[in-house]
Structures are given as C-alpha cells and as structure tokens.
Amino acid sequence: MVPLMAVFPLLCAFLVSLSNIFRLSERYIKASFLVGIFSPWSIFILNMSDHPVETVLGGWSRIAGIEVAIGSLNYQLILVELIVFSLVGVYSLSYFEDNKKEGPVRGKQMFTLILLLYGGIMGCFLTRDLLNFLVYSEIASIASIILVACSNEKGAKRASYRYLMLFFLSSFLLIFSIGIIYVKTGSLNFYLISQNLVMSREIKVAITLAFVAFITKAGIFPLHYWLPDAHSKADAPVSALLSGLTVKVPVFGMLLFLVYTDIEFLTLPLMIVAFSSILFSIVMAILQKNVKKILAYSTVSQMGFILLAIATLNAAAAANYAFAHALFKSGLFLGIGVLITRYGTKDIDELSCKNDNLLMLSIIIFTLAIGGVSPLIGAFGKQGILSGLSGFGVYLFYIGSIGTLIYFINLNYSLFNLKSLGKQYRSIEGMITFIVAILTIAFGIYYYPKLKPLDLILIGAAFLAFLILKYLHIFEKKVPRIFSKDVEGLGGEINLYAAIFVFFNISFLIYVLH
C-alpha cells in the first residue's frame, strides 16, 4: 500500500490537467488538487505504528521487483514532505488566486506541476531501487524546472534553462555510474547491491561519479551556479518547495549510498567541498541585496552542512538536518513571499514586516532556527553534525554558524528598519507561515529539549561581527556580473559551468584513483 503515497498525487495531477482541458469549474480543479495534496497522509498514518515497512511491488522477490520502504532512513523526510506540501498547497491556493497577472501558464496549470513535483519527490523518498530513484527524481526535476520557467519574473526562463542543462548533464553521468554498478553487482536494488559489493576501482569510480552528480543536483558549491537564480526567480510557494524539498532528493540519494555502500574513501574531498560551500555562500549571502537571493545562497550554505554530516558518515544527523532545513527554509520563503507580494519589490531595504507582528515573529524564529539556536529544530541537527567533527573542523563549523547568523541579523535589521505604517496586516499566507514557525519550535522541543548557553555567545559574536561589517559598509558592496544578459551570454555561462563540472569530476576521480 505504501507506493500509493506517490501514486495519489500523480493521479490527481492527471485529473487536474484533464479538468483544465475539459474546462470544468474551478471548484473541481481545486478539489482534486487538495485531494492529491492530502491523500498521502492517510497511508502514512495507517503505516505509522508498524514501521519499518518494506515491500517489493507486485509481491516479486527483490531480484525482480522494485522495493519500497518506510524506515528510520526516510521517515523524517517523508513526514516533512507531507507537512510542507500540505501547508504550501493551501498557501498556493490563495497565492495564485491573488496573482492573476497573465503569463504563459498560470494558476490552475501550476497545480498540476506542483502535484507532479509532490509525486516525484515522494517516489524518490520511498524507493530502494537505484533506477527507480533516478526516474522519480527526473519527474520531480522536470516539474520543478517548468515551475521555475512559469514565473513572470524577468530572467526566469534563463534561470530555468541553466537549471535544465545542469540537471540534464548530471543525470546522464548518474545513469553512466548506475550502469557500472549494475554490471559489477548484478543488481539495482540497494540491499542486493550491498550484499554483492566488492570495493573495486570500477565501483569507486561509479560512486564518485554518482556523488558529483548528486552534489550538482543538490546545488552545493562549486557546482551550485544554477541554484541562486532558479530559487530566487520562482514564485514564493515554488521557491519554498524547491529550497525545502527538491534539493533533499539528491541528499536522499547520497544517504542511500552512505547506508548501503562504503563511501569512506570519499570522506576528505566531501568534507572540503562541504566546508567551502558553507563559507563561500555566507560571503555571497552577505553581499546580496535581493532578499530571495540571500535565502537561496543560504540554501547552498545549509546544503554544505548536510553534506558535512554525510562526509562524517552520520546518516541520522544528515536526515535530521535535512528535516530541519526543509521546515525552516520553506517557512522563510513563504514568509518573505508575503512581504514581496505586499510591497512589490525584492530589495531588502524597501521591505518591512513591522506591520505584521505574526510574520515578524515567524521570521525571527526561522532565522534563529537556521543559526542552530536551541531549543529550535536546527539545534538538534547541528548537534549531530558537530559530534562527528574534531580539531580544526569544529572551529570551521562554529565560524559557519556565526556567519549564518550574521546575514540573518542583517536581514532582520533591514526588515525592522522601516517606519511602521500603523495598520496591521493579516492574511492566510501569513497564518500558514506562523504555523510552520510553531512547528519549528514544537519539533525542536520534541527532539532536543535542552538549552545551550553557548548559543548566546554565538549570537553575541555574530552581532558584533554584524556591527563591524556594517561600519565597514560591506553590506553595500555588490558582486560584479561576469556574463552579459543576452542569449549569447547564457551560452558562455553554460560552457563555463560544463567545464567546471568536468574539472570537478576529473579532480575527484584523480583523488580516488591515485
């Protein structure tokens, strides 16, 4: 019964697109959208008491069939997907209602794509089969690429093309590595792969190529270049889904490799990539004026933290932090989305949440959670990552945490800077953001009911650093543009990115094979 969790949304996506074709009334479309969003809950609740659940489709043996499972590895990811999609589903009903600006594809058509994304991500999280994982992740990524392209924002199509080309490239490298794994182990099922695994050179090459593909898809520095534009140009609910959940799909792929194969030979390069991703994106986030770009770079940096957990071979910490990140990052995108619609700009200096107390509170909670302040949800995941580090790594980790707090203090400072207009705003979107904020606290207290005095020192250090940077006018600096804005410039960009991708692959392979 478990696979139905992925089937329901896909089926409802089909129904929504059919009702569009037959021009049925909007009520039917919205109803089938909501059925698609909420129906997977029923199966999840039915199976909640007796997990782990492991079934092979059609009752075949593992050799012939596709295995799906809910267990300790994916339980949290599935739970957070259900929560985020339910809330974003309701949010997008009113968001696309209000935004009736005409574009090529709007409103009702977006619902089909959101459901396809839902089914694709759910299928990825459930499966224990390598090729099945790939196919579902392609469904999810194609849906998200079209969702980005559907935004009315200028440059959205350009961002979407870049997104597509990088995904296209990394997918084929992933298929190539799947081929090597199949020929060496004779199976695509992860359990059977782990049974037949002999760590030969070929298998090491295959796992390395797969990891580079996952790093690209997860948007981790230095293969992150598609992410900031794609996540910042999309509509608010779409950004929330992309930053919250789509980037977790490759993370789950890495987790499967971590649990079922041996990736110890990759520990050092993964750790270097993780730390450089964390620190690089902090610098980039500090230099941004566009509020959604700050959040997008923050995703690059947070994915670095998740990769760090994987590099320290700690699957539980990676899953916990992915859970936490999905919750607070989607909440932040939803909250900021409300402000952007209200003020009609993305410039951090022109936005304010002084007229909306609930939203103000929610954004403060999210930013503290991202900084890893206890007892919010981020603290639990960060504690798990920290336990695997030693020596110099611990210092870098704290620098990363302080850096994260710096650019979010800057964000909060700018949001409170404007004068209050007197009138208080209330909206459904704001309420939904507040629900996510409450969940951030509730899960935080449930998983990690402790208070760490060290957090106060971190916040203090971040505030001090913020004041110094403010005094030095660092926040006013801009990142220079390298490529021109026309199609020609885009071609050059793709050339450069493909070259970096190849270079990255080669350097990983040289490290593994030397």
Partner 1 sequence: MIESITGGYLNAELAGVILLLIGLYGLIINRDLIKQVISINVLSTGVFLFFTSLGHVSGGNVPLIMNTDMVDPLPATLMLTTLVIDVAETALALALILRMREDEE
Residue 512 within binding range of partner 1, rule CB under 8 A: no
Compute φ and ψ for 61, nearest 5 degrees. Answer: -80, 170
Using CB under 8 A, which of 145, 234, 379, 415 touches partner 1? 145
Residue 161 within binding range of partner 1, rule CB under 8 A: yes
> Closer to partner 1 at the Cβ: 177 or 352?
177
Using CB under 8 A, which of 52, 71, 179, 460 touches partner 1? 179
Q: What angle do CA 371, 153, 363 make, to 5 degrees?
A: 25
CA distance 401 to 403: 5
Using CB under 8 A, which of 11, 142, 364, 441 touches partner 1? 142
Residue 109 within binding range of partner 1, rule CB under 8 A: no
Q: Smallest distance from the beta carbon of 303 to partner 1, in angstroms?
A: 23
The one-letter amino acid code at 366 reads F
Footprint (CB under 8 A) of partner 1, residues 274-293: none
Residue 57 within binding range of partner 1, rule CB under 8 A: no
Binding mask 299-338 for partner 1 (x = CB under 8 A): ----------------------------------------
**Helix 26-46 and helix 75-98, axial crossing angle in degrees, nearest 10:** 170
Residue 510 within binding range of partner 1, rule CB under 8 A: no
Q: What SS3 state is found at 378? A: helix
Q: Count CB-CB contacts under 10 A for residue 96.
A: 18
Q: Count CB-CB contacts under 10 A for residue 150.
A: 22
Residue 454 within binding range of partner 1, rule CB under 8 A: no
> Closer to partner 1 at the Cβ: 188 or 402?
188
Residue 482 within binding range of partner 1, rule CB under 8 A: no
Residue 200 within binding range of partner 1, rule CB under 8 A: no
> Closer to partner 1 at the Cβ: 201 or 473?
201
Residue 204 within binding range of partner 1, rule CB under 8 A: no
Specify burial of residue 25 (Cβ count, 10 A radius: 0-12, 13-18, 19+).
exposed
Residue 449 within binding range of partner 1, rule CB under 8 A: no
Q: Count CB-CB contacts under 10 A for residue 22.
A: 7
> Total residues contacting partner 1 (rule CB under 8 A)?
38
> Closer to partner 1 at the Cβ: 63 or 467?
63
**Helix 201-218 and helix 291-311, axial crossing angle in degrees, nearest 10:** 160
Using CB under 8 A, which of 26, 46, 97, 172 touches partner 1? 172
Residue 211 within binding range of partner 1, rule CB under 8 A: no
CA distance 31 to 70: 28
Residue 459 within binding range of partner 1, rule CB under 8 A: no
Footprint (CB under 8 A) of partner 1, residues 69-108: 104
Q: Smallest distance from the beta carbon of 179 to partner 1, in angstroms?
A: 4
> Closer to partner 1 at the Cβ: 145 or 220?
145
Closest CA to 91 of 358, 355, 431, 382: 431
Closest CA to 89 of 159, 9, 22: 9
From the list 76-84, 154-162, 266-274, 359-367, the region that binds partner 1 by CB under 8 A is: 154-162
User: Quick one: residue 219, left, alpha or beta (phi over 0 = left, psi -120 to 50 = alpha)?
Assistant: left
How far CA 378 is from CA of 204, 321, 413, 465, in Å, comes to 33, 7, 21, 22
CA distance 448 to 387: 14
> Closer to partner 1 at the Cβ: 499 or 513?
499
Q: Smallest distance from the beta carbon of 160 to partner 1, in angstroms?
A: 6
- What sign for the dihedral angle of Cα 444, 398, 478, 491? negative
Radius of gyration of the chain (CA): 22
Using CB under 8 A, which of 11, 18, 93, 135 touches partner 1? 135
**Chain residues in the site for partner 1 (CB under 8 A):** 104, 131, 134-135, 138, 142, 145-146, 149, 157-158, 160-161, 164-165, 167-169, 171-172, 175-176, 178-179, 182-183, 188, 486-488, 490-492, 494-495, 498-499, 502
